[in-house]
Amino acid sequence: MTLLKQKISLFFILALSYLQAFTQVEKFANTITSSDLKDHLYKIASAEMKGRETATEGQRTAAAYIEEQFKQYHLLPGWEGGYQQQFPVFRDSLVRASLNINGRELEFDSEFYVTSNSGFNIAFQSGEIVFAGLGRSDTSSDDYKNVNARGKVVVVWPKAADYYSLQRAAKKNGAEALLIVQSRFSKGNAPREARMYVRDYRQDSLPNTFVVSDKLLPVIFKDHLAGIDKAMKAGTDVSKSYPVPVKLEHAKITEHLQSSNVIGVMEGTDKKQQAVVLTAHYDHLGARDSVIYYGADDDGSGTVTVLEIAQAFSLAAGAGMKPRRTIIFMTVSGEEKGLWGSAYYSDHPAFPMDSTSANVNIDMIGRIEKGRKGDSLNYIYVVGDNRLSSDLRPISEGLNSKHHKLHFDYKYNSPDDPERIYYRSDHYNFAKKGVPAIFYFSGLHEDYHRPTDTPDKIRYDLLSHRAQTIFYTTWEIANRDEMLKRDLP
Ligand SMILES: [Zn+2]
């Protein structure tokens, strides 16, 4: 055999194996089917999962289901020998709250309530209150200038209800407790129900804050009220100490709970020291009384897509086509509460962030957004792909043009997107750490965050094409020669 012939046959062998690999990948992509996605979603968004609220039984049931699938796909446990990365969640419940001003015992809920970020227990009384007008010493006003609020109960009568800045001002001035007078006070706003937090916010120790109805102004200030009202309308400084007996109490209990991210790992081959992280959140809003928020699209659709992509990779691995890089399949919780699970992961990564080539994130890809019709249905919003790496968009677009040719809509990727979608899902916690991220989303609809986001409304035909599109991109990032370069600011 001549040299030339050898070269030619080598070329043919290479071309053939490339073609083979190409059709093989397509074969594995085709294992992501409408019916598999549907089967999983009818479980994830079933009544049994009770809306999958973070740190509840429904969330744990969903986590167990996902873990079970990861085991079936022969994924390795991704966190300390298990599949679940637990993170702490706190939940406060009110034990009692009372407020007595000028000898009058106020009625909880119909006359006052205590804000849910009032963290520590307090029982306090004094013969004096400090009135600090609008209560904004940290901005331009003169409030707090002529009074000493240290260790006192401070009363403010603001025009707008930016409670947090009022609380900060009260803290800065050393107030023991803060009473905010509210003009449109209505019954039923008292946060009696347990509310969850992700860190022990008592570290911030804002003063306990009592919101009171403005109908109580005459009870508080008696004869002084007319003068105060007039002076405030004239814009003069009204801050002054008054001899008003006040007695207040606030007691809460804090439960220490847990939620989890479910992590399954497929170890890579020659580049296993690098990784791709595929994410979707499996938590949703839970149930209010007996009404379940099923969260089929949000984000059951992303959760089942992660499962199906994991299965496709596992079938490929079984056929001797393991990915070169390690793939971390992760469904996170706490997203609806404020991206808690992904934030926790980004501080406690299962794989170093510096060696994580990309995060591929999926949140709500099973529906057609409001207002879209006709032949424009074959679309998906792609967000974040050109923010940190110039490699990512060409990869994603190149593969899409070879396969499903979805219309990639970049509307939500605009830096001045009023919905701020780029900041509203879990990929953002990766991007924040410098990891290039690509986020897939099919838009908002009338069932968004309503109990009617149910699995019967999912377009499984579209979902499977979107899921396959995401699979191809994940495959390429996992198998290409280089990690995605981080060359954009
Ligand atoms: Zn949501």
CA of 423 to the centre of ligand 1 (A): 13
Percent of the chain residues topping a pLDDT of 70 = 92
pTM: 0.82
Compute, in angstroms, the gap from residue 379 CA to the centroid of ligand 1: 20
- 448 Cα–ligand 1 center, Å: 7
Radius of gyration of the chain (CA): 28
Tell me: pLDDT of 200 over 70. no
Q: Is the pLDDT of residue 203 over 60?
A: no
pLDDT of amino acid 164: 86
Average pLDDT, whole number, for the chain?
92
Strand order of the β-sheet with 112-114 is 112-114, 208-213, 177-182, 153-156, 129-131, 240-242
Q: How far is the CA of 481 from the centre of ligand 1 (A)?
A: 36
> Which amino acid appears at position 149 of this protein?
A
Instruction: Write the pLDDT tens digit of every residue in 132-176.
Output: 998 875 555 557 888 899 999 999 999 876 888 899 889 989 999
SS3 454: coil
Tell how far the Cα of 97 is from the centroid of ligand 1, in angstroms: 32
Domains of the chain: 29-90+256-479 (3.40.630.10), 104-244 (3.50.30.30)
In 94-198, alpha helices (H): 163-172
Query: Does the pLDDT at position 6 exceed 60?
Result: no
* Region 197-203 average pLDDT: 64
User: What's the gap in Å between 445 CA and the centre of ligand 1?
Assistant: 12
Q: How far is the CA of 206 from the centre of ligand 1 (A)?
A: 29
Residue ranges with CB less than 5 Å from ion ligand 1: 298, 336
Read off the pLDDT of residues 62-77 as tens digits, 9 standing for 90 and up: 999 999 999 999 999 9
Q: How far is the CA of 364 from the centre of ligand 1 (A)?
A: 8
Express each pLDDT in 331-367 by its tens digit. Answer: 999 999 999 999 999 999 999 999 999 999 999 999 9
Query: Ligand 1 center to residue 449 CA distance, Å?
Result: 6
Exposure b/e, 137-163, CB count within 10 A at least 16 = b = bbeebebbeebebeebbbbbbbeeeeb
Assign 10 a pLDDT band (cuts: 50, 70, 90).
Answer: low
pLDDT of residue 135: 85
User: How many angstroms separate the alpha carbon of residue 19 from the centre of ligand 1?
Assistant: 41
Helices (H) and strands (E) in the chain, counts: 12, 20
- Mean pLDDT across 13-29: 76
Residue 425 and residue 439 in contact, taking contact as beta carbons nearer than 8 Å: yes
Sign of CA dihedral 71, 437, 345, 274: positive
pLDDT of 202 higher than 60: no
